[in-house]
Copies of this chain bind each other. A is one copy, B any other.
């Protein structure tokens, strides 16, 4: 168990791990963090799998984690780390994603959700805050969450269908792709439209993209 090494009292530097696939962001962030007297950079990860490995190796006090990464998704990395180290303090740091990403990150065990358009002083303040055991949800993010209080969850099937629709498949093609009748596909889409509050498949796709429910490759 690696959770007991995190004390609420700061008797040493805050050991930080940064995970982001963009070198510009990752190295730039690292360069800023090391300028802080009370912060110590223990590693940089360029994907989720490497983030997990480095977390196991160094067990940092705080981990800054981007969500969109190759090899292993940021959310998946958060889940893996928090199940292994329940007291891990992870901050999701990403550009503006949909509310679905925010929820998934927090559900996976993230202690906070930061946006890249925040001031660096705020980011550093958030690192110190989570080290103290606090949760960090900026008002902008909280507002985004409050915008859709009821999670308009799409079921796995509905997401699968919508993802295929986004690729331009017709109902019949989707039915063939998932091995079901096109009548079934129509029902899934109908329920999806109702949940998202849209009238047609095209708007359903764009709304799902902006809310982070699906992603374009």
Taking Cβ atoms with an 8 Å cutoff, the residues of A that contact B are 21-25, 27-32, 35, 93, 95, 116-120, 123, 165-168, 170, 198-207, 209-210, 216
Contact status B203-A206, CB under 8 Å: no
Given contacts A24-B120, A167-B206, 9 further A-B contacts (CB under 8 A): A23-B117, A23-B120, A24-B29, A28-B31, A28-B120, A31-B32, A168-B204, A170-B200, A209-B209
Contact (A24, B202) CB under 8 Å given A31-B32, A209-B216, A210-B216 = no
Residues from chain B with a CB closer than 8 A to the CB of A201 are 202
Q: Is the CB of B168 within 8 A of A203?
A: yes
Contact across chains for B116 and A24 when beta carbons are under 8 A apart:
yes
User: Do most interface residues of chain A lie in helix, strand or loop, or is the interface mixed?
Assistant: helix
- In the complex, what's the smallest C-beta–C-beta distance from A28 to chain B, in angstroms? 2
Q: Which of A35, A203, A209 has the most CB of B within 10 A?
A: A203
Give me 23 A-to-B residue pairs in the complex whose CB atoms sit less than 8 angstroms apart, sorted by A's number. Answer: A22-B117, A23-B116, A23-B117, A24-B29, A24-B93, A24-B116, A24-B117, A24-B118, A25-B28, A25-B116, A28-B30, A28-B31, A31-B31, A31-B35, A167-B203, A167-B206, A168-B198, A168-B199, A168-B206, A168-B207, A205-B205, A206-B216, A210-B216
Could you tell me if A24 and B167 are in contact, using CB atoms closer than 8 angstroms?
A: no
CB contact between A166 and one of B25, B120, B170, B206 (< 8 Å): that residue: B206
Q: Is the CB of B168 within 8 A of A200?
A: yes
Contact indicator A117/B21 (Cβ below 8 Å): yes
B residues in contact with A120, CB < 8 Å? 23-24, 27-28
Measured in the bound complex, the distance between the Cα atoms of B201 and A200 in whole Å is: 11
* Residues in chain B near residue A209, CB distance under 8 A: 209, 216
- Residues of the B chain whose Cβ atoms lie less than 8 Å from the Cβ of A118: 23-24
Least Cβ distance of A37 to chain B in Å?
16
Q: How far is the CB of A193 from chain B (nearest CB, A)?
A: 10
Shortest A172–chain B CB gap in Å is: 12
When chains A and B are docked, how far (Å) is the Cα of A31 from the Cα of B29?
Answer: 9
